[in-house]
Structure 1
Amino acid sequence: MMPPTAHAFSPGSTDPARRHPNTRGRPAPQRLCLAVLCALTATTASAADSEKTLDTVVISGSWVEVSPFDAPYSVDGVRLDTNAGQGMRVNVSEVLGSVPGVVVQNRQNYAQDLQISVRGFGARAAFGVRGVKLISDGIPATNPDGQGQAATFNLDAAERIEVLRGPFATVYGNHAGGVIQLFSRDGKGAPRIRGSVFAGEHGTYKIGVGAEGEKNGIGFVLDTSRFETNGERDYSAARRDQSFAKITLAPDEDSKLTLLVSNLHQPNTEDPLGITWATYQRDENAVEPVALQYRTRKSIDHVQGGARYERRFGEDRLEVQAYAGEREVIQYQSIPKAAQGSPTHAGGIINFERSFHGLGLRWIAQREMGAGKLTLTTGVDYDSAEDDRQGYQNFIGNTLGVKGALRRDEINTVTSTAPYIQATWRQSDWDWSLGVRHSNVRFKVQDHYIVGPNGDDSGSGRYRKTTPAVGVLWRATPLLNLYASLGTGFETPTLGEIAYSPTGGFNLGLEPSISHQFELGVKAYVGENTRMNLAAFQINTDNEIVVAGAGGGRSYYTNAGKTLRQGLELALETELTRTLSARGALTMMRATYDEAFAGVPEGNDIPGVPRVSAWGELAWKPRAGLTTAMEAVHRSAVEVHDANADEAAPAYTLFNLRLVTEQESGPWSFSQTLRLDNVFDRKHVAAVIIGDRNGRYYEAGPGRNVYGGVQASYRF
């Protein structure tokens, strides 16, 4: 039997009734029982398939292949099948909902991307992903400042996604919560082409075509797709065109060269913004009038390319990678016309062109040492991003939602240089791991808009931090591993967080937040058909970056005092019978402010972080080519503001159903998917906008939804 793989789950729910700040405590027994039930009765359809996640290896955390069972930290490898069983593959929320400790919330707002948090880090992100590092085929999808975009992930070409949580995530640099890495397939086997069509409610469809295989020693993976939807919520239409190309070749028997190009085109994506509690109660799919008045929207064009060269020298390996790309964004916001009267206001439209590039160099050496084997990795990463950024008024005269006068013009540059070293010594039944990274992140602002009382806001800031991590794993028996790890995390402000201050200009006085993380875990087989991963963690953070206030339609940030996160993550997978399998996850976490600040009392919950979350799926595969599955998702109530005084987003439990069929006929392969989400049409808040000063905290999730799709491939 192969060692188990850490498995994924999505957080669960809590009491739908509003909790008073003074009555917070442990989850009520009935809610905890529900969460445990969701987890322990759950399963995934893919667990019964031939491509099981339990055979997955990972490299996150160590840069060498290892079974998650043998890693002294929490890491999951999630395989993505080539059939249509895992849905449309538009958002990583479709495939990462099962990872413990991870909350992936689909805002139903493609202008702002998904909301992803790991052990509570990243929950406050108003847009995109921060606090969690995103990497695709070695190329960062996260800027050097810590702000990332999951929309650039191409799931159609993905082979697996790895999720690293806890102390060893710190060896990847400027973030604190974790690392999410996507690895695309290599072109292998006979050349083949494929096509797929999905369609659902609200004018939703996705069409994709692709080709992959190997010819004359050259592997290739090509993919292009179009996704379009009118959106469940009013004013939430979106279109997303993606393309991807990967070429792999071997210059000689000891080396491998990989070339990558990808593109994302997302024009005029409607932004429905959040809604108030009163609006949510009246009509969860509604949009506030201000979004329609200013026609809030965003357009994105993103292209990047990279090359990766690997060469073996006996048991040692050299890896070199380089990448470059461009990203252009124009976003029309709902900032009122009157608020832009101040001479220091930056306007209601954000427009920037970003050029980014980077270089990575890594040497991996393996040596016999004493009674064990030492694996030593040394390397350095250099990343740079430069934004040519302008701000404009979002009106001309009395016409709203159009590009008006220039109000901001600057060059923002962020660079990061980070050498690191990591060592793992395997000695009999013990593995000892140590990692150290030194991050040097520099922000520079060149202000070219100096008009009247709007002075020169040019400036720079530098953040340096050495972040160590250490771990140990003990193989107590062939079927039981125990481990412990600890480390220090480092999280700088993002450009968006330093962009505004109460007095105008940049907030370069923001300090980075520093976290100290500790984790204990058990990874085990229970009997012949059950795998279990259990992890307990504690995270103490200083200088947490939080919303301080707002003025002129802009939020500005400050450093809070200390915060505390304590949690428990459980993942189970079991084969109940030859045809019935189950998998589930449970996360319980207490995330609070451990020190009062700015009127926020000690003990308040950190907003956006559920105390209980659970995910599970029960899959039945009565015969080859037919799989049915029932999925349960539970998430507890979450606060929406540091003060914990506004209406918390209620808890919810959702049930989903899926049917997948597959057929083969000669060189042809076919698959069909039918999915029914939110079977009982449960009204729920899918995501929250932390600290929104207009009270528009809530982003409603979809009601009962059905969609289906077909995929066909031909092998030459």
Structure 2
Amino acid sequence: MPQRFPRFSPPGFLLSGALVGGVVLSAVAPAPVNAVGGPTGSMGAPPAITVPSATISADTIPADTLPVDTIQRDTLDPIPVRGVIVNILRSPIRVDRAPFAISVIQEEVLGRGRSASSVEEALHGLPGVQVQNRFNDALGEQVSIRGFGARSGFGVRGIQVVVDGIPATLPDGQSTLEHLDLGSLGRVEALRGPGAALYGNAAGGVLTFETRAPSESRVRQELRVVEGDHGMHRLQSTTSGTLGAQQYLVSLSRYEWDGFRTYRGDGNRSVYGNTRREQVNATFSSSLLGGEIRLVANHLELGSENPGALTRFEMEVGDRRASSGNVAQGTRKDVVQSQAGLTWRGPLAGRELELATHAVRRELVNPIPWAVVDLDRKVGGIRGILRTEQAGPVGDLWWAAGFEASSQLDERRQFANEAGERGSLRLDQRERVFGGAVFIQALLPINRVLDVMTGLRYDRIRFSAADRLPRTFGAPEEAGGRTLDSASPSFGLHASITRALGAYMNLSTAFETPTTSELANHPDGLGGFNPELEPQVGITGELGARGLLGEVAAWELAFFHTVLYNELVPFEVAQVPGRRFFRNSGRSEREGIEATLQFSPDPMVAARMTLSTNRAHFRSYSVDGVSYSGNRVPGIAPHRIEGILRLGPGSWFAEFRGEAMASILTRDDNDPQAATPPRRLLDVRAGVNEANLLGLRLSPFLGITNVLDVAYTSSVSVNAVDGRYFEPGPGRAMYFGASLAVQY
């Protein structure tokens, strides 16, 4: 087969598994790879494209991932350097040719010394990605990219999330990450900017998560145990292997956490905010009809208490208490969710065809301060993509065209909350969402320096609701529906200026509908959907560059400017505290800089620094005659700095992580008394890399979070009433664990 992507122009590299630009450095002999450099049998890349491996003597850069026998030598052989292939742009492309800001985190970082208790751990070191860890699994972690998603009061909004090829983002734009199996996570890819031309609704940014590749041995059995403060206990069993053309992985896990938010009951101090999670995650792949088929299945059972947000006075007391109202109302969440996805990818008439389908069933009981929500959800979808590539005089031209169709059916009921139990029925409606889309994208080499990537997608989404509450005069009312659509183009230009320098620019669009829960919340209390709430649309321009500094460092710099119309803004009313409603602002703008520097002067030392800024302002926005034009958009940190220092590996490793985040405003009027104090956090983890013990592979580790034991706000609730804007983070906490593996 001919070699594709023949030019090698590496403007970035991997240190400790986090990618800047597009080159992976490894002193470990490479594992068998498929046509694009992914693991054999992986569905992460199609077989139609191959990537050459190159060994660069003059540009050799030490890696920090070395086997024990390698680091004992005085000198190192030249390190194989391989262009990193990502699939987050819907077609495989080397990162150093992508005209968009893309980051990758690999398995060796995701699993090394982590407690696997939060999504935040998996996203450390990503510029432009802000995670507000509520330490409250009843609400989930708030993840935003360049401010998209910062409005979320629970779950994830504004960004697209894909887990093992199955959309975690529903047709209406809301996402959940509870089912993500952090203990078997193998790869994270992030598109740090709008991706509506590729993913459609709610794609202000994109995150894709992949389960790690199965072991190449016939059977590998791994047992992992983590114990920690606040009653943390995590037990995981992972079995994987390769049997000829078949690969499999089965992960079983149980996670328990008592929480740290306290309240006084029966004269004693008690804790409110516990979590119990049981999960099964499985993948299976095999060759079929000249291609590869992959099955993914996941089951989750989750129960978690919601300790709620606090006022500034309650935060200053410093006891990290739970909200007394939440405790009295028994706020919590109980979820049972099952999902499965099937993907086939293979050749078709000289091209490559990808076909995928998925189904999700979710049952939720969710007492919140003002109601008990009972939701039964069914989701299904299909996707088809046809790709082709042909050689040109200055490079390879490829294009891809595809379609998506998805449906969402919600049976939603709301009852009065009587101390955590169901009272009178207040809402009973059936909500349907149907989404359909067609898209096309292409990569066109202009010459040996310039590449153009362009795309266009059209989405049409139909919302409908049937109000089934009995009315005074006869049958239930049909609440009607709404149809929202958008055409989303994108254009990107990349220049490979030298072997060590690449630059890019792009224009991309964002389109975001209100979710069903946002549409269903009427300030006037009526059923059906809010007819006044409009979708949020915007356009982003970006300039960026990636490069190498000698043989020991790499850097990346990106500047973005976003203009949004009808930005969705949350608010609450005094009559129903805790219930979030939404309205549209007129126009708002965001601009910022993302800078990353990675430095590895020695195979045993690697450092990474990231700077993320975001100046987000309302330009045209008023409510009831009060103008907020010129004010900062609440919920978004204007700047954030993160630094990670890794020592090792070899027989051991250690990692130090520091973070400094600016004050976050919580109100549209920018009241400084409702802003969070700036925060500075330090975490430490260390451990041993698979010590051989009588044929068993033992990896003990420990970690300390919030080493300096500072009091800080971990998450905010924008425009809340009664001043309840703040959720506290825990103090200093320790965890320790070990994994024990055997394979044959």
TM-score > 0.5, shorter chain as reference: yes
Q: Distance in 1 between matches of 2:19 and 2:310?
A: 30
2:115 maps to 1:88: yes
Match of 1:39?
A: none
- Is residue 630–residue 658 contact of structure 1 (8 Å, CA) maintained in 2? yes
2:423 maps to 1:404: yes
Q: Which residue type is aligned with residue 576 of structure 2?
A: G
CA deviation after TM superposition for structure 1 residue 5, in Å? 4.7
CA deviation after TM superposition for structure 1 residue 117, in Å? 0.7
Q: Relative contact order: is structure 1 or structure 2 higher (C-alpha 8 Å, sep ≥ 6)?
A: 1
Map of 1:365-380 to 2, 5 A cutoff? 365-380=388-403
CA deviation after TM superposition for structure 1 residue 522, in Å? 0.4
CA deviation after TM superposition for structure 1 residue 50, in Å? 4.4
Q: Distance in 2 between matches of 1:84 and 1:159?
A: 8
Of residues 453, 463, 474, the one that matches 1:443 is: 463
Stretch moving more, 540-549 or 434-443: 540-549
Q: Which residue type is aligned with residue 102 of structure 1?
A: V
Q: Secondary structure at the match of 1:576?
A: strand
Match of 2:596?
A: 571
- Is residue 571–residue 718 contact of structure 2 (8 Å, CA) maintained in 1? no
Q: Distance in 1 between matches of 2:230 and 2:519?
A: 38
Per-residue Cα deviation, 1:51-106 (whole angstroms, up to 9, x for no partner)? 99996834344323333222100011111229851412232200202110000121
Q: Which residue type is aligned with residue 480 of structure 1?
A: L
2:567 maps to 1:544: yes
2:139 maps to 1:139: no
Per-residue Cα deviation, 1:217-263 (whole angstroms, up to 9, x for no partner)? 210010010010101223110111111111100025x3101011101
Q: Which residue type is aligned with residue 542 of structure 2?
A: E
Change (3 A) 1:642 1:457: farther
Of residues 286, 291, 298, the one that matches 1:262 is: 298
Change (3 A) 1:546 1:216: same
Match of 2:33?
A: none
Match of 2:710?
A: 682
CA deviation after TM superposition for structure 1 residue 594, in Å? 1.2
CA deviation after TM superposition for structure 1 residue 408, in Å? 1.6
How many residues matched?
Answer: 661
- Is residue 537–residue 565 contact of structure 2 (8 Å, CA) maintained in 1? yes
CA deviation after TM superposition for structure 1 residue 571, in Å? 1.0
CA deviation after TM superposition for structure 1 residue 370, in Å? 4.7
Stretch moving more, 517-526 or 160-169: 160-169
Match of 2:73?
A: none
2:77 maps to 1:62: no
Q: Distance in 2 between matches of 1:487 and 1:441?
A: 20
Of residues 610, 614, 634, the one that matches 1:585 is: 610
Q: Which residue type is aligned with residue 358 of structure 1?
A: G
Q: Distance in 2 between matches of 1:475 and 1:262?
A: 42
CA deviation after TM superposition for structure 1 residue 127, in Å? 0.2
CA deviation after TM superposition for structure 1 residue 552, in Å? 3.0
| Aligned-pair identity (%) | 28
Q: Which residue type is aligned with residue 353 of structure 1?
A: D
Match of 2:70?
A: none
Match of 1:279?
A: 314
Of residues 661, 665, 671, the one that matches 1:639 is: 665
Match of 1:184?
A: 211
Match of 2:517?
A: 496
Q: Distance in 2 between matches of 1:281 and 1:8?
A: 40
Change (3 A) 1:61 1:186: closer
Of residues 711, 715, 719, the one that matches 1:691 is: 719
Per-residue Cα deviation, 1:364-393 (whole angstroms, up to 9, x for no partner)? 110124533211010001111101111112
Of residues 626, 631, 644, the one that matches 1:617 is: 644
Change (3 A) 1:573 1:541: same
- Is residue 113–residue 703 contact of structure 2 (8 Å, CA) maintained in 1? no
Q: Secondary structure at the match of 1:148?
A: coil
Match of 1:251?
A: 288
Match of 2:488?
A: 467
Q: Distance in 1 between matches of 2:504 and 2:349?
A: 31
2:64 maps to 1:48: yes
CA deviation after TM superposition for structure 1 residue 284, in Å? 4.6
- Is residue 437–residue 457 contact of structure 2 (8 Å, CA) maintained in 1? yes
Map of 1:143-158 to 2, 5 A cutoff? 143-158=170-185
Match of 1:555?
A: 580
Q: Distance in 2 between matches of 1:80 and 1:642?
A: 40
Q: Secondary structure at the match of 2:86?
A: coil
2:632 maps to 1:597: no
Of residues 651, 663, 686, the one that matches 1:659 is: 686
Q: Distance in 2 between matches of 1:518 and 1:82?
A: 31
Change (3 A) 1:635 1:82: closer
Change (3 A) 1:355 1:49: same
Per-residue Cα deviation, 1:534-559 (whole angstroms, up to 9, x for no partner)? 00000000000112542434332111
Change (3 A) 1:678 1:530: same
Of residues 7, 12, 19, the one that matches 1:4 is: 12
- Is residue 449–residue 496 contact of structure 2 (8 Å, CA) maintained in 1? yes
Match of 2:279?
A: 242
2:472 maps to 1:452: yes
Q: Which residue type is aligned with residue 484 of structure 1?
A: M
- Is residue 276–residue 302 contact of structure 2 (8 Å, CA) maintained in 1? yes
Q: Secondary structure at the match of 2:497?
A: strand
* RMSD of aligned alpha carbons: 2.2
Change (3 A) 1:482 1:376: same
Of residues 429, 440, 453, the one that matches 2:449 is: 429
Change (3 A) 1:531 1:5: same
Q: Secondary structure at the match of 1:150?
A: coil
Change (3 A) 1:146 1:310: same
Per-residue Cα deviation, 1:424-476 (whole angstroms, up to 9, x for no partner)? 01341111000111011111101111333997361100110000000000011
Match of 2:26?
A: none
Match of 2:435?
A: 416
Q: Secondary structure at the match of 1:300?
A: strand
Map of 1:297-446 to 2, 5 A cutoff? 297-313=332-348, 316-335=351-370, 348-395=371-418, 400-426=419-445, 427-446=447-466
Q: Distance in 2 between matches of 1:83 and 1:630?
A: 15
Stretch moving more, 170-179 or 562-571: 170-179
- Is residue 195–residue 210 contact of structure 1 (8 Å, CA) maintained in 2? yes
- Is residue 4–residue 54 contact of structure 1 (8 Å, CA) maintained in 2? no
Unmatched segments (≥5 aa) in structure 2: 1-8, 21-61, 68-78, 263-271
Q: Distance in 1 between matches of 2:350 and 2:449?
A: 22
What TM-score do the two structures reach when normalised by structure 2?
0.86
Per-residue Cα deviation, 1:603-660 (whole angstroms, up to 9, x for no partner)? 1111111111011111222x61211121111111000111111420111111111112
What TM-score do the two structures reach when normalised by structure 1?
0.89
Q: Distance in 2 between matches of 1:573 and 1:666?
A: 38
Of residues 526, 534, 540, the one that matches 2:557 is: 534
Q: Secondary structure at the match of 2:381?
A: strand
- Is residue 102–residue 191 contact of structure 2 (8 Å, CA) maintained in 1? yes
Unmatched segments (≥5 aa) in structure 1: 10-45, 336-347
- Is residue 56–residue 77 contact of structure 1 (8 Å, CA) maintained in 2? no
Change (3 A) 1:168 1:132: closer
Q: Distance in 2 between matches of 1:145 and 1:176?
A: 12
- Is residue 113–residue 687 contact of structure 2 (8 Å, CA) maintained in 1? no
